[in-house]
Amino acid sequence: MAPALGRRDVIAGGGLIAVGGILVACGGGESASEDTAATAEPAPSPSQTADSSTPESDPSTAEETDVEDAEGAEEAASQEAVDGLASVDEIPVEGGVVISDPPVVLVQPTSGDVKGFSAVCPHQGCLVSSVESNEIVCPCHGSLFSATDGSVIAGPAAEGLPAVPVEVQGNSVVLA
């Protein structure tokens, strides 16, 4: 029969295992990976890998694609700035969309009536998760808020969601 381990033996053994793990993780000297890192060539970028993996790739086509991609990204960024937070089409009637940056929930309680509220629950600062049947839902503790005025429908939140001024410009909802 093996001798019983005392409390001190168990704690000391656990400490040794932890220290050993830290030493292994931190490393103590030169390793093959450090030598390799100093002499290794940088990894190719995804575009280099894609170009080199297709033997029939035409360099002029690749340049045109890169230019088109850059132009497309610029147009998307420009369009996003024009579009604002969301398009009216993205906000369902009796529903809404939650935007994390800035933390705003956009709702459309009735067709054409778009409103904005803070998406931060006043109970403990959680981000609300969805809008269902004109109720804004906080997933952390189950608080419900009215999509028509942001007031509390069910707690634990004691205060409603503050209004965030938004306006519709064309088909886009922007901060007012």
pLDDT in tens, the chain (176 residues): 556 666 566 565 554 454 444 444 445 444 444 444 444 444 444 444 444 444 444 545 445 545 455 454 444 433 433 448 899 999 999 999 999 999 999 999 999 899 999 999 999 999 999 999 999 999 999 999 999 999 999 989 999 999 999 999 999 999 98
Number of alpha helices (DSSP H) and beta strands (DSSP E) in the chain: 4, 10
Each residue's pLDDT tens digit, 42-53? 444 444 444 444
Distance of CA 174 to the CA centre of its chain: 21
What is the Rg, in whole angstroms, of the alpha carbon atoms belonging to the chain? Answer: 28
pLDDT of residue 174: 92
Global pTM value: 0.54
Tell me the two tokens of residue 11. Answer: 């704690």
pLDDT of residue 85: 87
Q: 88-175 — its CATH code?
A: 2.102.10.10
Question: Across the strands, what pairs with 130?
Answer: 137
